[in-house]
């Protein structure tokens, strides 16, 4: 039996972004598929029962909350290091790119992309500086390094001078919740999110690299050319407010899982025009 600690910092009820969803789906599977192993979900805030993954998995809160660069160092290099040692962990899995630089416990690290290396201007300066200083260390320290695409694998390998053959790809996949709905349900959803109008939909954090302003400008041109669909933008601001007042554009904010799946199913098309992705 192995004792495996899991970084659960991004498992925030009602606020799962892309990395959080990836984390939840990966952890749910590994805990279920390894019933003889013992798992420990380590949160930096009070754990939610929403993330109870099974009888072989316990949850704890480890302070301080890691939400700022200096707190990232304190949490991963000291609090996590201490917990891995005191719990006698055999391995630590982190799916958000951060690991401990001070532990001798084997660590599996997933770095989704390194956009901050190429466009630090998309982030607040202190975060960009911290990421560019720490992520090369995290990538080289990891006992096993993973990412989500061949593009990111090549980028990490080239930028950090790490042999590509040592990096494994764990691709994202669609959730079964995203499925077609009836025409009657589509009408109901459209009434709730777009004043009953047909729409195209974007889903993602409102981050400069997501090209929100460019997408709105393109939508404006589309309407001038005779297009009839509105634009629905689903997501919450990450670093700064990206919302613009624009005609035929609806801002839904962050939606729960059911509403998100329905909003996509009721759309005419899914738009995704970021400058950079993993």
Higher pLDDT, 134 or 176: 134
**Overall average pLDDT of the 241-247 stretch:** 73
At 239 the pLDDT is: 64
Tokens representing 199 are 């729409």
CATH 3.40.50.2000 fits 183-270, yes or no: yes
Which residue has 């009836």 as its token pair? 182
Q: What is the mean pLDDT of the chain?
A: 95
CA separation, residue 257 to residues 189, 218, 234 (Å) = 14, 28, 12
Cα dihedral 48/49/55/60 (nearest 10): 20
pLDDT at 154: 98
Q: State the Cα–Cα distance between residues 183 and 197, nearest whole angstrom.
A: 13
Q: What is the pLDDT of residue 167?
A: 98
Residues of the chain within CATH 3.40.50.2000 domain(s) are: 3-169, 183-270
- List the beta bridge partners of residue 270: 201
Q: Is the full-model pTM beyond 0.85?
A: yes
Q: Is 72 helix (H, G, I), strand (E, B) or coil?
A: helix
CATH class of 3-169: alpha beta
């Amino acid at each position: 039996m192995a004792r495996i600690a899991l970084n659960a910092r991004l498992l925030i009820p009602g606020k799962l972004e892309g990395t959080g969803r990836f984390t939840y789906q990966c952890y749910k599977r590994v805990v279920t598929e390894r019933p003889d192993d013992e798992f420990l979900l380590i949160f930096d805030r009070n754990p939610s029962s929403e993330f109870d993954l099974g009888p072989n998995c316990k949850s704890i809160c480890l302070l301080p909350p890691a939400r700022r660069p200096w707190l990232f160092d304190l949490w991963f290099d000291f609090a996590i290091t201490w917990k891995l040692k005191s719990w006698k962990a055999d391995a630590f899995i982190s799916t958000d790119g951060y690991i401990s630089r001070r532990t001798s416990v084997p660590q599996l690290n997933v770095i989704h992309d390194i956009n901050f290396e190429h466009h630090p201007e998309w982030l607040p300066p202190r975060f960009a500086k911290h990421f560019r200083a720490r992520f090369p260390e995290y990538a080289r320290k990891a006992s096993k390094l993973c990412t989500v695409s061949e593009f990111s694998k090549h980028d990490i390998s080239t930028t950090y001078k790490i042999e590509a053959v040592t990096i494994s790809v764990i691709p994202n996949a669609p959730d079964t919740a995203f499925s077609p709905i009836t025409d009657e349900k589509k009408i109901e959803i459209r009434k709730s999110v777009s004043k009953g109008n047909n729409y195209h939909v974007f889903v993602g954090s409102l981050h400069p690299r997501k090209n929100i302003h460019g997408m709105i400008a393109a939508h404006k041109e589309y309407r001038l050319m005779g297009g009839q669909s509105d634009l629905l933008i689903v997501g919450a601001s990450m670093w700064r407010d990206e919302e613009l007042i624009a005609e035929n554009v609806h801002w839904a904010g962050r939606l729960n899982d059911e509403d998100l799946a329905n909003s996509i199913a009721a759309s005419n098309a899914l738009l995704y025009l970021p400058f950079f992705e993993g």
